[in-house]
């Protein structure tokens, strides 16, 4: 069987972290949480999660800065990133498109759609057996 995937949840709002944590755990993943981009970055570097779900607007390193810093890591070790944001504007769509394996979801987000997106990504990237 596949090893359990680990998902990192980064949001400064504790309630959002909690609900995503529970929802994602319920769907058979391990979770890690961070309350800002800086903490998130450390976890990405040290614990190498398989996917990152991050808010866009956060104190101490926002979602965009985090993406710019972690995108180079994806060359050697690809992982999935979901950026959660209020309504997206074309300018933001552009930088997100430039990132590897990165998508955005608009707030208010649907927890089940996030889980669907994770499953889809892992299905797509599963090595041929």
Partner 1 sequence: MKSTGFEEILSGFSKISPLKFEIWNEKGAVGACDPGDLDGVRQFLPGMAARVYDTEDFRHEETERQDGLFGLPLFDDDIIAGVLLAYFSSASDNAQVSCPNLEDAKALLTRIAGLIEERWDMQKESDTLITELDKSYESLHLYSNVATQIKTLNFSSQMILHLLNEIKDNIRMDMVFSIMPDRPDYSEIVCKEEVNIKDQPGFVASLIKAVEKSEKALEEGYFIVNNSTDEKLFSKIHKDPFRFLAVKIMHNESFYGWLGICSLKMDDIIKRSELRLLVSIAEQIGVVIANTDLYHNLEDFGINIVKSLIVTIEAKDVYTGGHSERVHHVSMLIAKETGISEEDRKVLNWSALLHDVGKIGIPEAILNKPARLTDKEYSIIKGHPLKGAEIISPLDYLAESIPGVLHHHEAYDGTGYPSRIKGKEIPLFSRIISVADTFDAITSDRAYRKGASFEKGRKIINEVAGTQLDPELVEVFNKVYKTARTWLAEGHLK
Q: Is 18 in the site for partner 1 (CB under 8 A)?
A: yes
Q: Which stretch binds partner 1 (CB under 8 A): 34-42, 61-69, 71-79, 102-110?
A: 102-110
Q: Is 111 in the site for partner 1 (CB under 8 A)?
A: yes
Report how far Cα 86 is from the mean position of its chain's Cα atoms.
Answer: 16
Q: Which is nearer to partner 1, 23 or 38 (CB)?
A: 23
Q: Is 112 in the site for partner 1 (CB under 8 A)?
A: yes
Q: Is 22 in the site for partner 1 (CB under 8 A)?
A: yes
Q: Is 90 in the site for partner 1 (CB under 8 A)?
A: no
Q: Which of 32, 69, 103, 109 binds partner 1 (CB under 8 A)?
A: 109
Whole-angstrom Cα distance, residue 4 to residue 113?
Answer: 20
Nearest residue to 13 via CA among 33, 31, 41, 38: 33
**Least Cβ distance, residue 111 to partner 1 (angstroms):** 5
Whole-angstrom Cα distance, residue 115 to residue 107?
Answer: 15
Q: Are 9 and 35 in contact (CB under 8 A)?
A: no
Binding residues for partner 1 (CB under 8 A)? 15, 18-19, 22-23, 106, 108-113
């Amino acid at each position: 069987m596949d090893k359990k995937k680990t998902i990192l949840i980064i949001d400064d709002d504790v309630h959002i972290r909690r609900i995503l944590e529970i929802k994602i755990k319920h769907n058979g993943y391990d979770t890690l949480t961070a309350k800002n981009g800086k903490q998130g970055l450390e976890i990405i570097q040290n614990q190498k999660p398989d996917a990152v779900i991050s808010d866009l607007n956060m104190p101490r390193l926002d979602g965009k800065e985090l993406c710019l810093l972690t995108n180079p890591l994806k060359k050697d070790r690809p992982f999935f990133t979901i950026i959660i944001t209020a309504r997206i504007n074309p300018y933001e769509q552009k930088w997100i498109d430039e990132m590897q394996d990165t998508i955005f979801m608009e707030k208010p987000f649907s927890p089940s759609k996030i889980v669907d997106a994770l499953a889809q990504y892992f299905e797509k990237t599963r090595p041929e057996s």
